[in-house]
Amino acid sequence: MGTSGRPVLSGAMNTHTCLVVGATGRTGRRVAARLRLRGIPVRAASRSSQVHFDWAQPAGWDAVLHGIYAAYVVPPPVPGPVSAFAARAAACNSPRLVLLSGRGADGWGGSMFGRNMVSAEEAVRGAPLEWTVLRASNFAQNFGEDVFHAPLLAGELALPAGDVPEPFVDVEDIADAAVAALTERDRHVRQVYELSGGEAEDFAEAVELILGDPRSWGDDGKRSMQRVDGDDADIRVLLAAPDTVDRLCAPLRTNGYVSCANGNRAIINQNRWVAGVPHFEGDLETYRIYLINHEVGHTLGHGHVFCPGEGETAPVMQQQPLGLNGCEPNGWVEP
């Protein structure tokens, strides 16, 4: 903080306005909110904002850029306009641009989306100003706020990704990275950051391995579980963003934190799958085994049980994410 109590932008000026282009979008609105919480003036611009911005109307760009210290830019869905925008930003003495791009953009070949991202990156890098590029993978919020949501509610989500594992990144993390690039002047200039979620893992394969283990719900060989394609599955295991879990689990209250089973669906909270819970003390493998076995146990008709005693192995149907109550963490039905 400066002597006036106002926030200081690292390395230089402290009261200059930041422009957020696409301020009503998933990342833009979060970036704008974080800047305001820091006391940094924000010019929130979009086609529906009070400050009007339209990629198809370059005549209005100078007014939006006037007096701007830094800008967060979500590019339009066609190649080209970012080059002209970067040139106008430099002409208007707006010294810094932070561009949202796509993870691995320079390896996407000839797709329209890939050409768009590469075109935007080249425009920003070639402009006479400071720049940072944030290359984000698919948004975790796609499950609850966008294109993946309706298929999930219908019970099946198909993606054109084959068997290639790909992590999802939380939009909140993208917003944090964007604000750092906008405000920490000396650390992020001329940098390209690949933003991703946790370790890329084939969730379906993990579920298959866990449920196929003899320590799972095999009941001494009396039951077998096999991965199937199509609509005839007896049990469905879904990985979803927290807000989607809340919707799919209703009327159960998962509060953006825990997972659930609803009917024949075991619905796994993505944040818990990626990060676990503190009292498992970093043992993510055990926690993931527990998560699958516990929720699938509910689909098989098993209810919650309690810790049998201090130092005992926790039963798999104990609510271990909420506390171990003296038991030792465990993920297996038959440890």
44-83 pLDDT per residue, tens: 999 999 999 999 999 999 999 999 999 999 998 877 899 9
pLDDT tens digit sequence for 11-20: 333 347 999 9
Contacts of 292 (CB under 8 A, 6+ apart): 206, 207, 210, 211, 237, 266, 268, 331
At residue 41, the pLDDT reads 95
Q: Return the pLDDT at 107.
A: 61
At 10 the pLDDT is 38
Per CATH, the number for 17-195 is 3.40.50.720
The CATH-assigned architecture of domain 203-322 is 3-Layer(aba) Sandwich (3.40)
Q: What is the pLDDT of residues 71-129, one digit of tens each?
A: 999 998 877 899 999 999 999 998 899 999 987 666 655 667 677 888 899 999 999 99
**Predicted local confidence at residue 66, as pLDDT:** 93
pLDDT at position 102, please?
83
Q: How many residues does the chain have?
A: 335
Domain boundaries, the chain: 17-195, 203-322
Q: Is the pTM of this model over 0.75?
A: no
- Which tens digit of pLDDT belongs to each residue from 210-259? 999 999 998 777 788 888 776 678 899 988 878 888 889 999 999 888 99
Element counts in the chain: helices (H) and strands (E)? 11, 10
Q: What is the mean pLDDT of the chain?
A: 83
Task: Categorize the per-residue pLDDT at 197 as very low, low, confident or very high, splitting at 50, 70 and 90.
Answer: low
